[in-house]
Amino acid sequence: MKINLFKGSIKRKLRVLIAFGVIVFIGISLVTMLSFYNIRRNVLEHSHVMSDSAAEFTEKFLISRITAVLEYDANEKARMVERELFGINTDLKLMADMADFILSHPENYKPRYTQTYLKGKFDRGVTYVILSPELKTKSISPSVQQEIELMGNLDDTMIAISHHYKNFDASCYFVSDKGYMLYLYCDDDIEINEKNDDEINFDPRTRNWYIATRKGKKNETVLSDIYFDNLGRRAITIAAPCYKQDEFVGIVGIGYSLNTLYSHIMKKTLGESYINFAVNKRGEIIFSSQEEGELCLLNKKEVLDLRNSSNKSLSDAIKQMMTGNRGTTTVTVNNKEYYLSYAPVPTPGWYFGTLITKEEVLEPAQVAKTIILEQSGDFVDNIQFLFWENIAKIVFLFIVIMAISILISRKATEQLIIPLITLADGIKEIARGNLDKKLEIKTDDELEYLANCINDMTTELKTYMENLSKAVADEERISTELELARDIQEGSLPHNFPKHDKVDIYASMTAAKKVGGDFYDFYHLDENHLAVTIADVSGKGVPAALFMMRSKTILKNLTFMSRNFEDVASILNMANSELYENNGEMMFVTVWIGILDLRNGELTYANGGHDMPLVGSVENSDPNWHYVTQEKVNHMVGIDPNYKFAVHRLTLKPGDMLFLYTDGVTEAMNEKGELYSDVRLKQILNQKGKGSLTVKEVLTVVGNDIATYVEGAEQSDDITMLGLKYLG
C-alpha cells in the first residue's frame, strides 16, 4: 500500500513538512545531546585520571630525589668523621714512634727545658709540664727530672702535629707512667678559671683512656669513650702506648672536642631545617643539632640509650641504624614524621643520621598536586557550563534555525574535541617525565588558559628539580677533577721497566680513591749507577699531589746535579732545604733514596723518615728476607731546614733483592680495622718470595696477599711497592 504524505491540501502538506522538519530536528537534537553527554562523561573521567597521575608521578619523583640526596649527605658526613679520625691516628702513630725513639736513644738528645704549668692560661704553641698531685706534694726525684728534660725533645714533633689542628679544639700530650704530662694546646689561647684549674689538678694515670691504653697491645691505638674535659666539653682521646725496650713508660694522646668535629660537619649541611645527630655503639647521642626534644644533647654525664626509648618508632629506627648498613627509613620524632638517612662511622663505632621532615619532602608534591586538581576542577566546571549552554541554544533555536543548529553543533564539536585530545596527550607526555613539553593550544578560551597554566607549572617544577640536583652535580664535578688530578699524578711515574743484564727492577702503585702523595722513581745517572727513590707525602687531596710533584722534581734534579754519587745524604739535605721554603702548610715527605753501583752491587742510600726496606739475602737457593736496620732514624724531609741526614751503605750480592714500600702496604686495613703489619709483610716474603721469581712476580705475590687480607674493605691509602734484584 502506497502512502502519500503530501496528498491533500496545501495546509496539510505544510503541516507534514513542518512535522517532518520537527522530527528531523528532534532526531538531530537527540543525537547531538547524546554526543555532548558522552563528551562530558569522557572529559570528566580523563581529567581526574590525568590529574591523579601527574600528582602521583610528581610526588614519587620528588621523594626519590630528595631521599637520594639525603642519603648521600649522611654518607658523606660519616666519611668526613672517618677521615678526621684516620688523620688523628696517623699523627698519633708518628708522635708515638718519636717518643719511643727518644726514650730508647737518650744519648742522641740534650736535656731540654719545658715550662711547668701552674695556673691561669695555656698559650697556643707552648708545651707545658703538668705534674700529678703526687709529684706536686713531694720533691721530684732526679730520675723523673732527667726524664722530663729528655722528653722535652718531643716538643718539635708535637708542635708540627699541632699545625694540623690549628682551627680545631684539640690538644696533644705525653703522659709518663711516673706521673707527669707534657701538654700542648693546638687552638687559640685558652683561659682556665678557678673551677677548671682545680679540675686540671688530677693524676692522668687514673683516667680511663690511660688505663685502657696501658692494658692494650703494644702497637695498638685506643679510642676512648666520650668524656667531659676540664672545660666541661664533650671530648674523646685517641692514645697509643710508649715503650722503652719493651717496658711500658707512658702514652701519647690527642684530645679532640666533639663540638669542633660537629661544627665542621654542620658547615656541609644542605639546609637549616635538616637535623644532624650521631650515636655511639651504646645507642647514646654524642652530638646533635637539636637543642630540645627527643634528640637533644643535654650537658650531662648520663644519657639515654635510644634503643630503649619509649618512642617505639625512634627505638626501631636506631636499631636499624646501628646494623652497620647505609639506608633511609621513616621515623616519628617529637610527634613529627621524618625521613632518616644513616651511615656508619666504622673506626669509632659511631652511626651518623640526617633527618628531614616528611612534610618538607612532600610539600612541593602537594603544591603541584593542588595546582593540577584546582585547574582540573576549573576545567570540569567549564565543560559543564558549555554543555548546558549548548543544550539551551538547541532548544531556543528548535524550529527557527534547524540547519544553523546542525552547523553550530558540528563547529562546537571541532572546537572542543581536538584541543581536548591535544591537551590530554600533552599531559600524558609530561607525566612520563618530559618537562620540556609545551602545550600549543590557541582557542582563546578556558582550554588555552588551562594549557598555559600547565606550561607554567612544568616550568616551575623543572626549575625546582634542577636546583635540587645542583648539589649532587657539584659533588660529581669535584670528584671528576680529583680523578683527573690522580691520573696526571700517576702518569708522571715511570711505567717502562727495561731489561738490564745487571739489575731487574719493577714498581707498582695501587691508588686509593682520593688523590694521594705516594711516588717512586728510578733512572740511570751513567752506565754504572742507577738511582732509586720511593716517597710518601703527608696529607691527601690536591695539596698532597702538588707537593708530591714538587718533591719528585727537586729530588731528581738534585741527583743529576750531584757530582759525588757516594754522598746521597747531601742530595737529601739540599732537597730538605728547598722543600722547607714557602711551605706555609708545614707539609712534609718521607723519602728513601739510593744509588746502586752496578759494577759491584754497593748501594749508597739515605733515609728521610721513611719505612725501612727489606733485603732478601741469598742463602742456598732462596733469599732470607729481613728488614734493613740503621743506627739513627732521620726526620721527615721539609720540616727542619738545618737537619743533616746520614748516609748509609749496604752491598747486594748477585741474586739479592731489595723491597721498598710505603705505609699504605703495612697499614692496609681489613673490615675489622686491623692493619696488615710489618710482621705479615716479612712472613709472606719469606714464604713465597723465592729466588726463582722475578721482581714483578714478587710484587704480585705481596699485592695478592694484601688483597686477600683486606677482604674487600675500602682502600684508604695508596699502596706503592718497588723491587730491585741485583743480577751481578
Residue 194's pLDDT is 45
| Residue 595 and residue 700 in one domain | yes
| Residue 683 and residue 710 in one domain | yes
pLDDT tens per residue, range 531-559: 999 999 988 777 888 888 899 999 999 99
| Residue 574 and residue 615 in one domain | yes
- Tell me what the pLDDT averaged over the chain comes to: 82
pLDDT tens per residue, range 568-596: 999 999 999 999 998 888 899 999 999 99
Residue 217's pLDDT is 86
Decide if 640 contacts 580 (C-beta within 8 A). Answer: yes
Residue 44's pLDDT is 62
pLDDT band at 195 (very low <50, low <70, confident <90, very high): very low
Identity of the amino acid at 324: G
Handedness of CA 189, 195, 201, 204 (dihedral sign): negative
pLDDT tens per residue, range 17-34: 667 766 876 777 777 777
| CA distances to 77, 87, 347, 449, 495 from 672, in Å | 21, 18, 9, 64, 34
| Residue 101 and residue 224 in one domain | yes
Count of structural domains within the chain: 4
| Residue 285 and residue 176 in one domain | no
pLDDT tens per residue, range 657-707: 999 999 999 999 999 999 999 999 999 999 988 878 899 999 999 999 999
pLDDT tens per residue, range 308-328: 888 899 889 988 988 988 899
What is the rounded CA–CA span in Å between residue 407 and residue 411? 6
In a domain, 80, yes or no: no
| Residue 551 and residue 694 in one domain | yes
pLDDT tens per residue, range 286-310: 878 777 888 887 655 556 788 988 8
Expressed in angstroms, the distance from the first to the final Cα of the chain is 132
Helices (H) and strands (E) in the chain, counts: 16, 25
Provide the β-strand partners of residue 208. none
| CA distances to 450, 465, 547, 589 from 721, in Å | 69, 47, 20, 16
pLDDT band at 10 (very low <50, low <70, confident <90, very high): very low
Handedness of CA 192, 194, 196, 200 (dihedral sign): positive
In a domain, 477, yes or no: no
In a domain, 53, yes or no: yes
Among 435, 464, 457, which Cα is nearest to 370's? 457
- Residue where one domain finishes, among candidates 448, 465, 482: 465
- Residue where one domain finishes, among candidates 203, 236, 257: 257
| Residue 324 and residue 376 in one domain | no
pLDDT tens per residue, range 208-251: 889 989 998 888 888 888 877 766 677 889 999 998 888 899 99
Domain, as residue range, for 411 = 10-62+363-465
| Residue 687 and residue 721 in one domain | yes
- Residue where one domain finishes, among candidates 337, 360, 383: 360
Decide if 294 contacts 334 (C-beta within 8 A). Answer: yes
pLDDT tens per residue, range 364-422: 767 767 777 677 677 767 777 777 777 787 777 777 766 676 665 566 556 666 777 78
pTM: 0.43
Which residues, in sequence order, are CB contacts of 21 under 8 Å at separation 6+?
399, 402
| Residue 356 and residue 384 in one domain | no
